[in-house]
Amino acid sequence: MTKIQIFDVYKTYATRSGRTTALQKVDLDIRENEFIALVGPSGCGKSTLLKLITALIRPSRGKILLGGTLLDKPSRDVGIVFQQPVLMPWRSVLDNVLLPAEILGLDMKEARARAVELLDLVGLGGFENRYPGELSGGMQQRAAICRGLVHDPSVLLMDEPFAALDAMTREDLGFELLRIWERHRKTVVFVTHNIPEAILLADRVVAMSPRPGRIEKVIDVDLPRP
Ligand code: ADP
Ligand code: ADP
């Protein structure tokens, strides 16, 4: 089943010096529960493509369907993890994770149980009542991943979530991500500069090229899961 359908998408930004075409004629079908890695040099439009799937920005041309429906406003079926965890320092780890559930007005008792389960899954069991300043960068990013999943979206978008982490933490977190993906069956779109990481984690690697950004090739990864 197709989860996300990207159809003939172009994105042009207006800039001081004219217009920048960030994406040109992007077509991609992302299957339900598929793990997609988006790779390519800086400026090839990876973030733009991810932002279009959040519906925080709109395509200049073409359309994106989520679960067969036109994606014309941000959907609660989508969770987002950014490059920096940006946790609120005055809120406990648990209260940070619960933020999307609060904003969406979800049942907080259910959300709390889910948050505790997710924190446990990424090795942060027992840290619920600690504050972000007491956690390492890797632990903060784990909490941010839990925050991206607390409202139980079926799609998780991640923009270089490990970029700020050292190699060892990065690898650990990659394996944890796989465990989450296997346990909860999500459709994941993951932006990375790291090709080995892309091959290790993804079902398909989507390689993009710049000026203007477009899909160069789509590679099926047929590796056993670690
Ligand atoms: P369009 O897709 O027709 O350009 P948008 O609503 O996406 O319309 O954007 C409105 C204007 O803001 C456009 O001129 C666009 O180039 C610019 N724009 C879009 N996204 C951003 C952004 N993230 N930051 C700055 N400018 C943007
Ligand atoms: P990547 O994530 O692959 O580095 P981006 O999607 O950030 O690529 O950028 C693609 C192209 O669009 C680049 O040329 C970038 O300078 C341009 N761009 C991105 N965001 C904006 C914006 N808000 N306003 C104008 N140009 C932008």
Pocket test for ligand 2, best of 10, 12, 13 (most atoms within 8 A of CB): 13
Question: Which residue has better confidence, 98 or 197?
Answer: 98
What is the per-residue pLDDT across 6-44, written as a single tens digit (0 to 9) for each?
999 999 999 888 889 999 999 999 999 999 999 999 999
- Ligand 2 in contact with 90 (CB < 6 A)? no
Residue 218 pLDDT greater than 90, yes or no = yes
For the segment 180-194, the average pLDDT, to the nearest whole number, is 83
User: Residue 64's CB: how many other CB atoms inside 10 A?
Assistant: 20
Ligand nearest to C-alpha 63: 1
> In a 3-state reduction of DSSP, which class is residue 70?
strand
Residue 225 pLDDT greater than 70, yes or no = no
pLDDT at position 193 is 85
Cα of 13 from ligand 2 centre, angstroms: 8
Angle, CA 97 vertex, CA 91 and CA 98 arms, to 5°: 90
Ligand nearest to C-alpha 47: 2
Strands lying side by side in the sheet with 18-31: 18-31, 2-15, 61-66, 69-70
Residue 95 pLDDT greater than 70, yes or no = yes
For the segment 130-151, the average pLDDT, to the nearest whole number, is 92
Q: In terms of DSSP bridges, do strands 2-15 and 18-31 run parallel, antiparallel, or are they unpaired?
A: antiparallel
Residue 226 pLDDT greater than 70, yes or no = no
What is the per-residue pLDDT across 51-67, written as a single tens digit (0 to 9) for each?
999 998 999 999 999 99
* Residue whose CA lies nearest to ligand 1 atom number 27: 13
* Residue whose CA lies nearest to ligand 2 atom number 5: 45
pLDDT at position 108 is 96
Percent of the chain with pLDDT over 90: 62
* Residue whose CA lies nearest to ligand 1 atom number 1: 60
pTM, rounded to two decimals: 0.82
Residue 179 pLDDT greater than 80, yes or no = no
Instruction: Give me the chain's average pLDDT, please.
Output: 90
- Ligand 2 in contact with 20 (CB < 6 A)? yes
Q: In terms of DSSP bridges, do strands 35-39 and 204-209 run parallel, antiparallel, or are they unpaired?
A: parallel
- Rounded CA-CA distance 136/108 in Å is 27
- Ligand 2 in contact with 67 (CB < 6 A)? no
* Residue whose CA lies nearest to ligand 2 atom number 24: 13
Ligand nearest to C-alpha 55: 1
Ligand nearest to C-alpha 44: 2
For the segment 90-110, the average pLDDT, to the nearest whole number, is 95
Residue 153 pLDDT greater than 80, yes or no = yes
Cα of 180 from ligand 2 centre, angstroms: 30
**H, E, C per residue of 155-210:** EEEEECCCCCCCHHHHHHHHHHHHHHHHHHCCEEEEECCCHHHHHHHCCEEEEEEC
* Residue whose CA lies nearest to ligand 2 atom number 7: 47
pLDDT at position 183 is 67
Residue 192 pLDDT greater than 70, yes or no = yes
